[in-house]
């Protein structure tokens, strides 16, 4: 009860503040008067008595303050402080704007980057207990992450003791029949228990039944949430609707949740069932699946790995032909999904951390500078009666105000920045990184932003107080209060700038190295000339083109028709394009060498005679294919140089023979070419062989055409020609070779790394330069009197320049040199990202150092000029 | 000359209330009364008197009124309220308890 009454009284006083103050003033005045009267009565002179009474009474303002504080809300004084702080900021707009801008940049970049890291690495995956999920592979000598085969999957599933469930998926598109013709649809095939293993249930409809993946017509398909929205407008009537995929009619039985995504298979619109009826599924040697399994409770990762390794070993003994050298391998699913981008994101996070560091250092030094300039003001205030506590509160309020403005702007900027960054990612990258869809200010990111805000507030509030000791009133009031302590702090301020310059140097060097690496990547020798090549993928209906003869005839017709298009110089066909991955391998033996049971495997492509001339590859020995290299003649093969290096070291393989198996006749090696880059641009060369398309054709292949005119404009003509040959064929992925290289994942990675670090470096450069300017300007302002004296004594303007620039030069030199050393160290950390460039690449470091030094010197030039233009009389008067 | 003993912390409120129990007074009067009754031992800092008075006003233990003094000047007179009387009793008894306890400690034979 009394609390409420007290509150009302406080409120009353709050609203009648003026009256309160004037009442109290009157009261205190009377008190003093009566005290003076008493002193007079004791014999003092009236004016002396008045003085004595006043002195004894003490500081009236302070008494006022204390009285108000005793009964006022906490807020009142806070409001006073705020108003004063605002006034101060308005009086120094340059300082306020700079501090806020720096803070805004630092916070915006950190929050945006953190949001990315959160979306990709921290946010839990949309499965039940994702840490218990693993992905299963078969590893072969060529690499550890290869596919499983269907019979192997069944055996693993049956024999394992470590998994509560084991399922498989294969990421394969479907050819969807639409009114406009056959169109490619993103899809995947999974075994029946796949979603149950992941712990995901559809939001609409039902999941696959157990056993729905037994042999029999596969007629059920699940829809992804995005596909449901995009293709069916999110209508509930979608259940039971049918789609025609790959020639079969499927019924849509359910829709998956919105947050669900499965990165190893994405992008996926339609989830179908993996059935054992396919041609590949019946063959133990045909590998097209990856496995997903959930560890049983209590089973460790290592125990499970040992378990499946044993199973695979048994299978190897049981089926030596198909399973030789196939070892089981597994990784935690989370590792598979984020493992690739984790290093990038962490690097970027470090970069933004560095930027934040520079920004904080900058702001701190600005605040110190300003605190210096307010020493006298603080001393006077103290003398007038402000308590140290109140002065501290003043600084804290001012600091918090700056910090909150900067943070609010920073978070707004971050939101905008995140949207911008999302736009910059190409659409298919986005599709294969589905966790980025939820990017934005969620709980964790907001918490991070708040933490930064609090830290910024503390930094802003308490840095100035490092410099100001509120009890040393006398020192502040004396002339040029700049004793030994002042020098120490000035040097500290300069040292901070050195750190900034060094950090900027590190980031700039990183950007330079990444940029050079990207350039090298784009100009690496890929064994072909990518200009002026237009490419289209063709999928003919397998039931219409059943055998080699039909497929070869189709290919020939296509080659003929495309070659007759205007501007086309040559046409080639291949089963798989370069600059993808070096998969699609086959086992082989070398005829004439004893088979000691070694497993030999190399990539294989089926190409027409025009393929290599279209790509303009380099022939080292032997010949290319001719029209005679078809099914009715001797089987021939062309090898690449890496193949020869591995298996025919020091000799010419042309004229020797290979064989795939005992059933078929040996194959004659007729040519040797320089390596074509089948994998990504930065991949190591892999052994590859090229066989004539007409000796083992396929119903799906790529058509390439080299044109003397613009390659982009040839694409529509190619597409319509192909459509006119057989409208039932699926025709998709039209692009030029240059585009393919430009959009390739490794190109994208290098390009975006270079741009990101470049962006950081740019900001770091800006911040360091601003910081340096601040320090030099402050130093000049402190030495105005000294400069005035010098010039009055006859110093030339030039020598003043020299003095200021010399000081700046020393700072820059130390910063750049220290930064270069740190840069080399940091470059060692990212050397995996560098291509064709050493971490200590001298020309890059030199160039970057020059850029930084030049910018810094330019920044110091302004204060130097101000110093040199000081008029001696003015300078001597300012004290 | 030895420094004058400072007022024990927390006792200012009690002394003001006791002073006002005798008669309503203005600020200067309260200070004079305390000084006189303590034989000049206790001096109330004016800097603490007025904040204390405001506090007591806030708590409702005293109330204030503007009246004219003998010399025809306007001054704010403070009066003890019923709640203040109760509070005074409370504080005095606490204080006496404290003194007794200290006394017991001090009077323990060496």
Q: Based on the domain organization, do A634 and A745 belong to the same domain?
A: no
Let me know whether A577 and A666 are in one domain. Answer: yes
Taking each helix axis from N to C end, the angle separating A484-522 and A797-829, rounded to the nearest 10 degrees, works out to 50
Of A26, A63, A71, the CB nearest to B46: A63
Specify if A113 maps to a domain. Answer: yes
- Residues A779 and A807: beta-carbon distance below 8 Å: yes
Do residues A227 and A187 both lie within one domain? yes
A63 contacts B75? CB cut-off 8 A? no
Same domain, A272 and A254: yes
Task: Indicate whether A333 belongs to any domain.
Answer: no
| pLDDT at residue number A878 | 56
Q: Are residues A777 and A664 in the same domain?
A: no
Q: Identify the domain boundary among A728, A751, A772.
A: A728
Burial of B35 (0-12, 13-18, 19+ CB in 10 A): middle
A559 and A573 Cβ atoms separated by less than 8 Å = yes
- Output the six-digit token pair for A601: 């495997």
Provide the pLDDT for residue A847.
93
Identify the domain boundary among A72, A97, A115. Answer: A72
Note the pLDDT of residue A426.
64
Does the residue A135 lie in any domain? no
Last residue of a domain, one of A34, A54, A72: A72
Cβ separation B54–A58 shorter than 8 A: no
**A304 burial via Cβ count (<10 Å: 0-12, 13-18, 19+):** buried
Q: What are A555's two structure tokens?
A: 């290919």
- Same domain, yes or no, for A744 and A817? yes
Domain ranges, residue A91 = 73-129+340-481
Enumerate residues 18 to 37 of chain A having a beta carbon within 8 A of any beta carbon in chain B.
Answer: 23-24, 26-28, 30-31, 33-35
Residue A121 lies in a domain: yes
Annotate B27-85 with DSSP letters as a single string: HHHHHHHHHHHTTTS----HHHHHHHHHHHHHHTSEEEEEEE-TTS-EEEEEEE-HHHH
Tell me, yes or no, whether A532 lies in a domain.
Answer: no
A71 touches chain B (CB under 8 A): yes
Asked if omega into A181 is within 30° of 0 (cis), the reply is: no
- Residue tagged 């704007």 (tokens): A97
Residue A534 belongs to some domain of the structure: no
Q: CA A803, CA A376: separation in Å to the nearest integer? A: 27
Q: Is the ipTM of this complex over 0.85?
A: no
Q: What is the model's pTM?
A: 0.64
Same domain, A466 and A508: no
Contact residues on chain A for B73, CB-CB shorter than 8 A: 30, 33
What is the rounded CA–CA span in Å between residue A192 and residue A206? 12
Residue A547 burial (C-beta neighbours within 10 Å; 0-12, 13-18, 19+): exposed
Q: Are residues A66 and A83 in the same domain?
A: no
The fraction of chain B above a pLDDT of 90, given in percent, is 42
Listed in sequence order, the residues at least 6 apart from A317 whose beta carbon sits closer than 8 Å to its beta carbon are none
Q: What is the pLDDT of residues B5-27, one digit of tens each?
A: 566 667 888 999 999 999 999 98
Chain A residues whose beta carbon lies within 8 Å of the beta carbon of residue B67 = none
CA distance A422 to A491: 43
> Minimal CA–CA distance to A363: which of A775, A822, A801?
A775
> Do residues B73 and A30 make contact, with C-beta atoms less than 8 angstroms apart?
yes
Phi and psi torsions of A295, nearest 5°: -70, 140
Q: List the structure tokens of A55.
A: 């002195």
pLDDT at res. B72: 84
Distances (CA, A) of B25 to B33, B43, B80: 9, 17, 10
Q: What's the gap in Å between the CA of A38 and the closest CA on chain B?
A: 10
Q: Is residue A136 part of a domain?
A: no
Query: Which candidate in A26, A34, A73, A387 is best for mutational testing of the B interface (most B CBs within 10 A)?
Result: A34
Report the C-alpha gap between A858 and A862 in whole angstroms.
7
Same domain membership, residue A496 and residue A409: no
A456 and A400, same domain (yes or no): yes
Residue A361: both structure tokens together: 């250092």
Reference A213, options A278, A129, A143, A134; nearest CA is A278
Q: Beta A601-607 vs A688-692: how paired, if at all? A: parallel
SS (HEC) of A2-46: HHHHHHHHHHHHHHCHHHHHHHHHHHHHHHHHHHHHHHHHHCCCH
Task: Enumerate domains of chain B plus CATH numbers.
Answer: 12-107 (1.10.10.10)
A83 contacts chain B (CB < 8 A): no
Q: What is the count of structural domains for chain A?
A: 5
Compute the distance between CA of residue A783 and CA of residue A385 in angstroms, rounded to an integer. Answer: 31
In whole angstroms, what is the distance from residue A646 CA to residue A603 CA?
13
Q: Could you tell me which chain A residue has the CA closest to the CA of B78? A: A27
Q: Measure the CA–CA gap between A578 and A529, rounded to whole angstroms.
A: 12
Mark whether A786 and A708 lie in a shared domain: no
Beta strands in A525-666 (DSSP E): 533-539, 568-574, 585-587, 589-590, 601-607, 619-622, 636-640, 657-659
Q: Residue A613, Cβ neighbours under 10 Å: how many?
A: 17
Residue A176 neighbours by CB under 8 Å, 6+ apart: A182, A183, A184, A185, A243, A244, A245, A270
CB atoms within 10 A of CB A463: 20
Segments of chain A with pLDDT less than 50:
471, 473-476, 479-481, 483-485
Task: Tell me whether residue A236 is in a domain.
Answer: yes
A523 burial (CB, 10 Å; 0-12 / 13-18 / 19+) is: exposed
Q: Give B77's contacts in chain A (Cβ within 8 Å).
A: none
- Rounded CA-CA distance A616/A686 in Å is 19
Task: Give the angle A471-A472-A475 at the CA atoms, nearest 5°.
Answer: 160
Structure tokens, A666: 């040996």
Domain identity same for A399 and A314: no
3-state helix, strand, coil in chain A (%, to 5): 55, 15, 30
Return the residue of B nearest to A8 by Cα: B58
């Amino acid at each position: 009860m009394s609390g409420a009454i007290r509150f009302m009284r406080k409120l009353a006083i709050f609203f009648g503040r003026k009256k309160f103050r004037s009442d109290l003033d009157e009261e205190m005045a009377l008190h003093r008067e009566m005290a003076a009267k008493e002193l007079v009565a004791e014999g003092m002179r009236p004016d002396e008595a008045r003085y004595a009474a006043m002195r004894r009474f003490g500081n009236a303002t302070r008494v006022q303050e204390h009285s108000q504080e005793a009964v006022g809300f906490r807020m009142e004084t806070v409001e006073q402080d705020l108003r004063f702080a605002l006034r101060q900021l308005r009086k120094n707009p340059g300082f306020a704007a700079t501090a806020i801008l720096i803070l805004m940049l630092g916070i915006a970049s950190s929050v945006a980057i953190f949001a990315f890291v959160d979306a990709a690495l921290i946010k839990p995956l949309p499965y039940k207990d994702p840490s218990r999920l693993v992905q299963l592979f078969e590893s072969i000598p060529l690499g550890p992450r290869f596919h499983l085969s269907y019979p192997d999957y069944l055996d693993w599933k049956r024999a394992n003791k470590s998994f509560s469930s084991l399922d498989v998926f294969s990421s394969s598109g479907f050819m969807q029949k639409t009114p406009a013709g056959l169109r490619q649809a993103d899809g995947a095939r999974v075994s029946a228990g796949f979603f149950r293993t992941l712990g995901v249930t559809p939001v609409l409809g039902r999941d696959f039944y157990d056993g729905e993946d037994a042999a029999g017509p596969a007629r059920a398909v699940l829809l992804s949430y995005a596909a449901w929205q995009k293709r069916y407008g999110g209508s509930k009537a979608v259940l039971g609707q049918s789609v025609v995929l790959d020639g079969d009619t499927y019924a849509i039985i359910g829709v998956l949740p919105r947050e669900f995504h499965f990165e190893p298979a994405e992008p996926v619109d339609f989830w179908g069932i993996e059935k054992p009826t396919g041609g590949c599924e019946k063959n133990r040697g045909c590998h097209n699946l990856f496995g997903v399994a959930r560890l049983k409770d209590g089973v460790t990762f290592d125990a499970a790995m040992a378990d499946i390794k044993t199973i695979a070993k048994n299978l190897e003994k049981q089926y030596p032909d198909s399973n030789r050298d196939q070892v089981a391998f597994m990784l935690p699913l989370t590792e598979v999904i984020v493992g690739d981008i984790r290093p990038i994101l962490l690097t970027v996070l470090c970069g933004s951390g560095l930027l934040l560091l520079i920004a904080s250092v900058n702001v701190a030094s600005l605040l110190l500078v300003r605190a210096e300039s307010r020493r006298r003001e603080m001393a006077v205030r103290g003398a007038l009666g402000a308590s140290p506590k109140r002065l501290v509160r003043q600084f804290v309020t001012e600091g918090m105000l700056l910090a909150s403005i900067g943070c609010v702007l920073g978070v707004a900027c971050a939101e905008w920045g995140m949207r911008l960054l999302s736009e910059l990612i190409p659409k298919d990258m986005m599709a294969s990184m589905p966790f980025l869809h939820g990017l934005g200010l969620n709980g964790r990111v907001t918490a991070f932003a708040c933490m930064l805000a609090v830290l910024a507030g503390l930094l802003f509030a308490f840095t100035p107080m490092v410099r100001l000791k509120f009890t040393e009133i006398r020192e502040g009031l004396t002339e040029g209060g700049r004793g030994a302590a002042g020098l120490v702090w000035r040097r500290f301020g300069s040292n901070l700038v050195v750190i900034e310059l060094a950090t900027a140097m590190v980031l700039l060097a990183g950007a330079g190295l990444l940029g050079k690496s990207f350039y090298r990547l784009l100009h690496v020798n890929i064994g072909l000339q990518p200009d002026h090549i237009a490419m289209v993928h063709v999928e003919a209906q397998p039931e219409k083109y059943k055998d080699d003869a039909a497929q070869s005839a189709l290919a020939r017709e296509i080659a003929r028709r495309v070659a007759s298009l205007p501007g086309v110089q040559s046409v080639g066909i291949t089963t798989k394009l370069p600059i993808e991955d070096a998969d699609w391998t086959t086992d082989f033996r070398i005829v004439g060498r004893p088979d000691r049971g070694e497993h030999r495997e190399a990539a294989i492509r089926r190409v027409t005679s025009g393929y290599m001339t279209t790509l303009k590859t380099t022939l080292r020995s032997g010949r290319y294919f001719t029209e005679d290299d078809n099914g009715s003649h001797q089987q021939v093969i062309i090898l690449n140089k890496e193949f020869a290096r591995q298996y025919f070291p020091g000799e010419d393989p042309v004229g020797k023979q290979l064989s795939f198996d005992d059933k078929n006749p040996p194959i004659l090696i007729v040519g040797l070419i320089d390596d074509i880059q089948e994998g990504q641009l930065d991949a190591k060369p892999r052994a590859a062989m090229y066989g004539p398309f007409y000796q083992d054709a396929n119903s799906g292949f790529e058509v390439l055409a080299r044109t003397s005119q613009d390659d982009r404009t040839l694409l529509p003509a190619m597409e319509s020609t192909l459509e006119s040959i057989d409208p039932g064929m699926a025709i998709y992925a039209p692009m030029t070779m240059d585009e393919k290289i430009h959009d390739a994942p490794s190109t994208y990675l290098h390009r975006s790394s270079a741009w990101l670090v470049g962006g950081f470096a740019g900001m770091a450069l800006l911040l360091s330069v601003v910081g340096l300017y601040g320090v030099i300007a402050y130093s000049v302002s402190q030495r105005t009197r000294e400069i005035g004296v010098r010039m009055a004594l006859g110093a030339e303007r030039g020598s003043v320049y020299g003095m200021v620039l010399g000081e700046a030069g020393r700072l820059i030199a130390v910063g750049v040199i220290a930064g270069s050393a740190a840069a080399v160290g940091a470059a060692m950390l990212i050397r995996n990202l560098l291509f064709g460039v050493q971490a200590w690449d001298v020309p890059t470091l030199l160039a970057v150092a020059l850029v930084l030094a030049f910018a810094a010197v330019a920044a110091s030039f302004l204060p130097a000029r101000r110093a040199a233009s000081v008029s001696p009389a003015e300078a001597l008067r300012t004290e | 000359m030895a420094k004058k003993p400072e007022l024990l912390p927390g006792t200012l409120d009690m002394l003001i209330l006791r002073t006002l129990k005798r008669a309503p007074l203005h600020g200067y009067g309260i200070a004079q009364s305390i000084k006189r009754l303590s034989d000049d031992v206790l001096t109330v800092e004016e800097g603490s008197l007025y904040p204390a008075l405001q506090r007591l006003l806030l708590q409702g233990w005293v109330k204030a009124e503007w009246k004219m003094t003998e010399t025809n000047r306007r001054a704010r007179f403070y009066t003890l309220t019923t709640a203040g009387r109760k509070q005074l009793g409370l504080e005095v008894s606490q204080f006496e308890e404290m003194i007794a306890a200290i006394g017991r400690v001090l009077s323990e034979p060496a």
